[in-house]
Amino acid sequence: MHEDPVKEMLAWMKVLLLTAFIILGVREFLFEPVIVEGGSMQPSYHENDKLVLSKATAIDNFDTIVFFAPDGSRFIKRVIGIPGDHIKMSGGEIILNGAPLDEPYLDKVEEERVDQPRVVSEFSVPPDCYYVLGDNRGNSTDSRVLGFIQKPDIIGEVKFRFAPLKDFGFVE
Protein backbone atom coordinates (compact mmCIF):
# COMPACT_ATOMS: atom_id res chain seq x y z
CA MET A 1 0.00 0.00 0.00
CA HIS A 2 1.10 3.53 -0.71
CA GLU A 3 0.72 6.30 1.82
CA ASP A 4 -0.76 9.63 0.97
CA PRO A 5 2.03 11.63 -0.77
CA VAL A 6 1.06 14.80 1.10
CA LYS A 7 1.39 13.08 4.49
CA GLU A 8 4.73 11.58 3.46
CA MET A 9 6.01 14.97 2.31
CA LEU A 10 4.90 16.58 5.59
CA ALA A 11 6.67 13.85 7.56
CA TRP A 12 9.90 14.49 5.65
CA MET A 13 9.54 18.25 6.12
CA LYS A 14 9.22 17.71 9.90
CA VAL A 15 12.41 15.61 9.91
CA LEU A 16 14.33 18.18 7.88
CA LEU A 17 13.08 21.08 10.00
CA LEU A 18 13.98 19.29 13.23
CA THR A 19 17.44 18.47 11.83
CA ALA A 20 17.99 22.11 10.85
CA PHE A 21 16.98 23.31 14.34
CA ILE A 22 19.37 20.83 15.97
CA ILE A 23 22.27 21.86 13.72
CA LEU A 24 21.60 25.58 14.28
CA GLY A 25 21.27 25.05 18.03
CA VAL A 26 24.54 23.12 18.25
CA ARG A 27 26.37 25.79 16.21
CA GLU A 28 24.88 28.68 18.18
CA PHE A 29 25.30 27.30 21.70
CA LEU A 30 27.90 24.49 21.68
CA PHE A 31 30.43 24.45 18.81
CA GLU A 32 31.63 26.73 16.02
CA PRO A 33 34.18 26.18 13.24
CA VAL A 34 36.79 28.91 12.63
CA ILE A 35 39.75 29.48 10.32
CA VAL A 36 42.97 31.02 11.68
CA GLU A 37 43.98 34.29 10.05
CA GLY A 38 47.44 35.72 10.58
CA GLY A 39 50.58 34.51 12.31
CA SER A 40 50.14 35.80 15.87
CA MET A 41 49.75 32.30 17.33
CA GLN A 42 52.68 30.61 15.57
CA PRO A 43 54.05 28.03 16.16
CA SER A 44 50.90 26.66 17.84
CA TYR A 45 48.50 27.65 15.05
CA HIS A 46 49.19 28.76 11.49
CA GLU A 47 47.36 30.74 8.81
CA ASN A 48 44.36 28.77 7.49
CA ASP A 49 44.34 26.15 10.26
CA LYS A 50 40.75 25.01 10.68
CA LEU A 51 39.57 24.69 14.27
CA VAL A 52 36.46 23.91 16.28
CA LEU A 53 35.55 26.09 19.27
CA SER A 54 33.62 24.93 22.29
CA LYS A 55 31.21 27.59 23.52
CA ALA A 56 30.22 25.67 26.65
CA THR A 57 33.49 25.44 28.59
CA ALA A 58 34.93 27.48 31.43
CA ILE A 59 37.95 29.54 30.38
CA ASP A 60 41.16 28.91 32.33
CA ASN A 61 44.80 29.99 32.19
CA PHE A 62 46.62 28.91 29.01
CA ASP A 63 43.43 28.02 27.10
CA THR A 64 43.38 29.26 23.52
CA ILE A 65 40.29 31.35 22.80
CA VAL A 66 38.70 33.22 19.92
CA PHE A 67 37.09 36.56 20.76
CA PHE A 68 35.69 39.67 19.13
CA ALA A 69 38.20 42.54 19.02
CA PRO A 70 36.93 46.12 19.47
CA ASP A 71 36.71 46.55 15.67
CA GLY A 72 34.50 43.44 15.37
CA SER A 73 37.16 41.16 13.88
CA ARG A 74 37.89 37.77 15.45
CA PHE A 75 41.22 37.15 17.17
CA ILE A 76 42.75 33.93 18.46
CA LYS A 77 45.01 34.23 21.52
CA ARG A 78 46.20 32.34 24.61
CA VAL A 79 44.69 33.24 27.99
CA ILE A 80 47.45 34.27 30.38
CA GLY A 81 45.36 35.83 33.14
CA ILE A 82 41.85 35.06 34.36
CA PRO A 83 39.76 37.22 36.72
CA GLY A 84 41.65 37.87 39.97
CA ASP A 85 45.09 36.89 38.66
CA HIS A 86 48.05 39.17 39.39
CA ILE A 87 50.49 39.60 36.49
CA LYS A 88 53.91 41.21 36.38
CA MET A 89 55.67 41.55 33.03
CA SER A 90 59.27 42.60 32.50
CA GLY A 91 60.80 42.10 29.09
CA GLY A 92 59.96 38.58 27.96
CA GLU A 93 59.36 37.30 31.50
CA ILE A 94 55.87 36.94 32.96
CA ILE A 95 55.19 36.39 36.66
CA LEU A 96 51.69 34.99 37.25
CA ASN A 97 50.43 35.12 40.84
CA GLY A 98 54.00 35.31 42.14
CA ALA A 99 55.45 32.43 40.10
CA PRO A 100 57.48 32.70 36.87
CA LEU A 101 55.41 31.50 33.96
CA ASP A 102 56.60 28.39 32.14
CA GLU A 103 55.59 28.78 28.49
CA PRO A 104 56.67 25.61 26.64
CA TYR A 105 54.63 26.65 23.59
CA LEU A 106 57.16 29.47 23.05
CA ASP A 107 60.30 27.30 23.28
CA LYS A 108 60.03 26.24 19.64
CA VAL A 109 60.73 29.77 18.47
CA GLU A 110 63.08 30.90 21.24
CA GLU A 111 65.79 31.84 18.75
CA GLU A 112 63.28 33.90 16.75
CA ARG A 113 61.93 35.84 19.71
CA VAL A 114 62.27 39.56 19.49
CA ASP A 115 64.11 41.24 22.34
CA GLN A 116 61.41 42.63 24.60
CA PRO A 117 61.86 46.06 26.18
CA ARG A 118 62.56 45.97 29.90
CA VAL A 119 59.44 47.96 30.77
CA VAL A 120 57.89 46.62 33.97
CA SER A 121 54.13 46.33 33.99
CA GLU A 122 52.18 45.04 36.97
CA PHE A 123 48.41 44.65 37.27
CA SER A 124 45.51 42.47 38.41
CA VAL A 125 42.89 41.09 36.03
CA PRO A 126 39.46 42.60 36.82
CA PRO A 127 36.29 40.53 37.28
CA ASP A 128 34.78 39.14 34.05
CA CYS A 129 37.95 40.02 32.11
CA TYR A 130 40.87 38.08 30.65
CA TYR A 131 44.45 38.95 29.73
CA VAL A 132 45.50 37.31 26.46
CA LEU A 133 48.75 37.13 24.49
CA GLY A 134 49.68 35.69 21.12
CA ASP A 135 52.29 32.92 21.09
CA ASN A 136 54.23 34.90 18.48
CA ARG A 137 54.83 37.81 20.87
CA GLY A 138 56.74 39.93 18.36
CA ASN A 139 53.82 39.84 15.90
CA SER A 140 50.62 39.91 17.95
CA THR A 141 47.91 42.44 18.65
CA ASP A 142 46.80 41.23 22.06
CA SER A 143 46.02 42.55 25.54
CA ARG A 144 49.20 44.62 25.49
CA VAL A 145 47.42 46.72 22.83
CA LEU A 146 43.72 45.88 23.26
CA GLY A 147 43.59 45.79 27.05
CA PHE A 148 41.53 43.23 28.92
CA ILE A 149 39.11 41.03 27.00
CA GLN A 150 35.57 41.15 28.36
CA LYS A 151 33.86 37.81 29.02
CA PRO A 152 30.89 38.58 26.67
CA ASP A 153 33.36 39.13 23.79
CA ILE A 154 34.67 35.55 24.01
CA ILE A 155 33.26 33.30 21.30
CA GLY A 156 34.76 30.06 22.56
CA GLU A 157 37.77 27.92 23.44
CA VAL A 158 39.74 26.02 20.80
CA LYS A 159 39.22 22.29 21.33
CA PHE A 160 39.86 20.56 18.01
CA ARG A 161 41.89 21.07 14.82
CA PHE A 162 40.59 19.41 11.66
CA ALA A 163 43.01 20.90 9.12
CA PRO A 164 45.73 20.54 8.14
CA LEU A 165 45.33 16.77 8.36
CA LYS A 166 48.84 16.28 9.77
CA ASP A 167 47.66 18.17 12.91
CA PHE A 168 44.18 16.59 13.03
CA GLY A 169 42.89 15.99 16.55
CA PHE A 170 42.16 17.51 19.93
CA VAL A 171 44.37 20.43 20.95
CA GLU A 172 46.19 20.63 24.25
Return the active site residues. 40, 77
Which helix (H) or strand (E) segment holds residue 34: the answer is strand 31-35
Give the whole-angstrom CA distance, residue 6 versus residue 135: 58
Q: Which residues of 88-108 are buried (b: 16+ CB within 10 A; e: fewer)?
A: bbeebebebeeeebebeebee
- The number of beta carbons lying within 10 Å of the beta carbon of residue 113 is 13
Quote the longest CA-to-CA distance of the chain.
83
- The number of beta carbons lying within 10 Å of the beta carbon of residue 156 is 21
- The number of beta carbons lying within 10 Å of the beta carbon of residue 150 is 14
In total, the chain counts a number of residues equal to 172
